[in-house]
């Protein structure tokens, strides 16, 4: 049997170690000192989105903020566990994006961050709320369709009633002369007391982002 010099490799342990070495019939103890500056990569932890809720309207594009994360010494790659159709993530930045095809609903996402130190899954890291898309207003109504006024008396109609999915509404008067005005946000009509006597027909137009 040949004789030689051998020892047990302890380089993966980042602490000083006593190593038993053999050569011929002699035995010696060697002190192994690891190189300074060597550090082990740890799995990512403490991932946060701010805000952690992304709210958008169906049919639009959505993008989250870049998350903060303790990367353990090595920038991670990101992924979404079982992502809904139309929702994805940029693997290098962690930015979540939403396509216009995503259906209305609430989506709580599990985001994975992985590096050489391992993978961490963050449940409920960010919530996506996709609201139903607007439709154009269907009709605009007032409590009083016909109004009889005494000369010299101011009239205020009160807010308009709009049928259909509202969104942000905008009101406009059509064919009205001096002395008539409308609140562009509520649709409330006002008639000044100095209007000349007569019969008048007023048209009101209401619109939102859909028409």
Residues 140, 200 within the same domain: yes
Residues 121, 156 within the same domain: no
| pLDDT tens string 114-152 | 999 999 999 999 999 998 877 777 788 888 777 777 777
CB 66 within 8 A of CB 96: no
Residues 100, 164 within the same domain: no
Residues 91, 13 within the same domain: no
Residues 160, 125 within the same domain: no
Last residue of a domain, one of 76, 101, 131: 131
Q: Residue 77: which domain range?
A: 45-131
Residues 144, 107 within the same domain: no
Residues 121, 104 within the same domain: yes
Exposed / middle / buried, residue 150 (Cβ in 10 Å: 0-12, 13-18, 19+)? exposed
Q: For the chain, what is the domain count? A: 3
What is the spatial distance between Cα 197 and Cα 150, in angstroms, rounded to a whole number? 9
pLDDT lower than 70: segments of the chain = 1-39, 164-166, 209-211
Query: 97 CB contacts (<8 Å, ≥6 apart)?
Result: 61, 62, 63, 64, 87, 88, 89, 90
Residues 164, 193 within the same domain: yes
The CB-side HSE value for 13 (13 A sphere, CA atoms) comes to 10
Residues 210, 143 within the same domain: yes
pTM: 0.54
Residues 162, 179 within the same domain: yes
Exposed / middle / buried, residue 148 (Cβ in 10 Å: 0-12, 13-18, 19+)? exposed
CATH of the domain at 145: 2.60.40
Residues 26, 71 within the same domain: no
What is the spatial distance between Cα 142 and Cα 203, in angstroms, rounded to a whole number? 12
CATH of the domain at 120: 2.60.40.60
Quick count: other Cβ atoms within 10 Å of Cβ 68? Answer: 12
Query: 173 CB contacts (<8 Å, ≥6 apart)?
Result: 180, 181, 182, 189, 202, 203, 204, 205
């Amino acid at each position: 049997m040949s004789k030689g010099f051998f020892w047990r490799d302890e380089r993966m342990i980042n602490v000083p170690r006593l190593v038993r070495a053999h050569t011929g019939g002699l035995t010696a103890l060697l002190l192994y000192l690891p190189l300074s500056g060597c550090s082990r990569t740890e799995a990512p932890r403490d991932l946060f989105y701010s805000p952690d809720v992304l709210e958008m309207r169906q049919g639009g594009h959505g993008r989250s903020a870049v998350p903060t994360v303790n990367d353990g010494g090595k920038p991670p790659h990101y992924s979404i566990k079982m992502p809904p159709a139309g929702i994805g993530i940029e693997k290098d930045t962690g930015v979540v994006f939403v396509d216009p095809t995503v259906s209305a609903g609430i989506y709580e996402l599990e985001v994975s961050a992985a590096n050489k130190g391992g993978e961490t899954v963050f449940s409920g890291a960010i919530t996506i709320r996709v609201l139903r898309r607007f439709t154009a207003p269907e009709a605009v109504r007032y409590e009083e369709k016909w109004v009889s006024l005494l000369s010299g008396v101011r009239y205020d109609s009160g807010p308009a009633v709009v049928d259909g999915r509202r969104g942000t509404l905008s009101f406009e008067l059509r064919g009205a002369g001096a002395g008539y005005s409308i609140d562009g946000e509520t649709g409330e009509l006002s008639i000044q007391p100095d209007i000349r006597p007569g019969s008048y027909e007023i048209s009101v137009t209401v619109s939102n982002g859909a028409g």
